Structure 1
Amino acid sequence: MLPQIEEKLVHTGKVELVFLDLPLQMHPQAFKAAEAAACAGDQKKFWEMHHLLFANQHALTEDRLPGYAEQLGLDVPAFQKCLSSGRHEGEIRDSIRLAHSLGISGTPAYVLARRIKGDKVEVLDIVHGVRPYEELEKKINALPASK
């Protein structure tokens, strides 16, 4: 559904997409996968790594991450250094805290909000779970305009 959201809503200026990491504890490699995506993001390949890890979640082990980095054409030593340093651990933990403060405990979840002033937002609705794109679009179209 993300490509539809980007094409029909983000690129048209109708919505802003903000991604929060929420690696779930029931998936033992999820936190390391979030770190891997963030480290790939340092090389401008966040979404490519995110999609690759999601597509290979059945084979998600820490020892495979350098191979995924190589597959994406990343500087593998820099990627591995980033991954072993824990450079993105704090921001991922902040993302988890923010998600939990919004009442989000599972993925996917879509927070529908509007900017009210600067970086302040008003949460209007949260859509939990996998839903058809049309349902999400209908909810977005029904939202009041930002102030």
Structure 2
Amino acid sequence: MVRRLSFPLLLLLVACDQPTEEERRAMMTEVATEVAQAKVAAVEGKLDAQVEEAKGQTKRIDELEKQVAELSSQLVSAQSQVAEAQVDIEALKKEHVKPTPEARPGRPDPEAYYAVKIGNAQARGPDDALVTIVTWSDFQCPYCSRVSPTIDSLLKTYGGDLRYVFKHNPLGFHTNARPAAIAAEAAGEQGKFFEMHDKLFANQRDLTEKNFIAWARELGLDVKKFKRDLDSATIADRVDRQQQEGMALGARGTPSFFINGRFLSGAQPETSFKALIDDELGKARAKVAAGTARNRVYDETIAGGRTEP
């Protein structure tokens, strides 16, 4: 690379007269300054190029994050549809008939309100919570297990404004789901439903009666009573009735949620739950401001709601 010489340096090279010491120092200082400025300019140029490259990468990351979020939503919907299709397959195996459009209930309308009753279902959160989530779940369903931490997070976030109600939908192709549901209800008879609920979801590959009894012992339950309740026709009937109730509403896949009577399908991201909860919370607070007692908000919200898809 050919370097351009500064004017002072040229004078040193071509001038016939020798410069004074002071002139020589001034010339060398100017040369050094020009060299330093050239280096700084080169570094600034590299930095500018790196900044522009980083901006391009950031934009690309944002685009990828949007694509991931969209694909995640599509995956949840597909998973829910697969679960529903499996229900149909099991029904066909048992009935040996071809389904007709009339025989297959439709899915709930997410814009509608449904009259989802609490009944004797297990619940977390206060009875006068302004928003109630009712879920139909299956202890052998991986998506039900996956969404469980999301529910825990929501209960912490909304505190006394949120109640979570658990109902059973043990799908036929999950052979251990119904015994697990009965085990959870048996633990619930001694006030430990959600403790057993956590054990079951944490050990989905080991849902056996032997383990149910071992976990009951770990939870400090009366094991003799627990064993009797595992064989209780009343508890088994409770599980079956809850499943039938969910099917009648169109909650055929798991997990299915109704938030103050509004349907949400699948193991959705926490943001999807929050959007619906916040909407219903605003409406509930308006009811309270207008004079509705907190413990009447849920019943008033679902009054007149649909009872089928």
TM category, shorter: 0.7 to 0.9
State the partner residue of 1:94. 241
Contact 1:35 1:86 in 2 (8 A): no
For 1:137, the aligned partner's letter is: K
Flag the structure with higher strand content: 1
Shift of 1:57: 0.8
TM-score (norm 1): 0.84
| 38-47 vs 136-145, which moves further | 136-145
Of 186, 190, 193, the match for 1:43: 190
Contact 1:23 1:30 in 2 (8 A): yes
Q: Does 1:3 align with 2:182?
A: no
TM-score (norm 2): 0.42
Flag the structure with higher helix content: 2
Contact 1:22 1:107 in 2 (8 A): yes
Shift of 1:51: 0.9
Shift of 1:12: 2.7
Shift of 1:82: 0.8
Indicate the structure whose relative CO is greater, using CA pairs within 8 Å and at least 6 residues apart. Answer: 2
Alignment of 1:125-136 (within 5 A): 125-136=262-273
Identity of aligned residues (%): 33
Runs of 5+ in structure 1 lacking a partner? 114-122
State the partner residue of 1:73. 220
Contact 1:29 1:62 in 2 (8 A): no
Shift of 1:16: 3.0
Contact 1:24 1:30 in 2 (8 A): yes
Of 271, 275, 279, the match for 1:142: 279
In the alignment, the residues of structure 2 paired with residue 16 and residue 56 of structure 1 have an alpha-carbon distance, to the nearest angstrom, of: 25
| 98-107 vs 34-43, which moves further | 98-107
Shift of 1:32: 0.8
State the partner residue of 1:61. 208
Alignment RMSD: 1.5
In the alignment, the residues of structure 1 paired with residue 234 and residue 154 of structure 2 have an alpha-carbon distance, to the nearest angstrom, of: 30
Aligned residues: 135
